[in-house]
Structure formats: C-alpha cells, structure tokens
C-alpha cells in the first residue's frame, strides 16, 4: 500500500447516537438509525440539509446544495428527467 495515501474513510457523527460512522452510510452501524439517500449523490440526507420536492408526481429527496447544483447545470430532475428549478 502507498503510505502517502490516507488509509481511513471519512466519518461523521450519527444524528441519533453520536457514534462516528462512515460519511456515506445510509444506516448507522451502531444504532441502526436510517437516512434516505440523496437522489443526486447517493449520500444520506441529514434533516438540516434535506429537500423534498415533487417532480412528475414523485417525491424526490435530495441534499439541497446537490439538488441546486444539478438543476442549475442540467435544468431537469435527476430522477424523472422532468423540468425542475433550484430551491434556495
């Protein structure tokens, strides 16, 4: 292994139990708390950054910043392909 490369995964504290868990986990390995996946990145949507919007009749869950970046670039919903707008 290349010792110059960091051999650890990025972590964040679980919203429920506070234990450090891999930042992209959709379920805490300690308490089993679950988060919904962001429609753009696949990362968990924390309550303070979560966006739920309707697109072609579907509820689409995303991280607000990721959603806005996607929509500003592509002008469409990443799930349905329908028209979408940024949510600030």
> What pLDDT does residue 6 have?
81
Residue 88: per-residue pLDDT: 85
pLDDT at residue 1 is higher than 80: no
The predicted-structure confidence for 39-75, as pLDDT tens digits, reads as follows: 999 999 999 999 999 988 899 999 999 999 999 999 9
Whether 30 shows a pLDDT value over 70: the answer reads: yes
User: In 3D, which of 32, 75, 67 has the Cα closest to residue 50?
Assistant: 67
DSSP classification of residue 54 = E
Instruction: Give the angle subtended at the CA of 87 by the CAs of 42 and 64, to the nearest 5°.
Output: 30
CB atoms within 10 A of CB 55: 17
């Amino acid at each position: 292994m290349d010792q110059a490369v960091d051999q650890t995964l990025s972590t964040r504290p679980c919203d429920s139990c506070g234990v450090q868990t891999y930042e992209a986990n959709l379920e805490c390995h300690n308490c089993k708390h679950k988060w919904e996946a962001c429609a753009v990145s696949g990362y968990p949507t924390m309550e303070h950054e979560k966006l739920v919007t309707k697109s072609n009749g579907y509820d689409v869950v995303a991280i607000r910043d990721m959603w806005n970046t996607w929509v500003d670039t592509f002008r469409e919903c990443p799930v349905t392909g329908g028209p979408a707008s940024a949510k600030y």
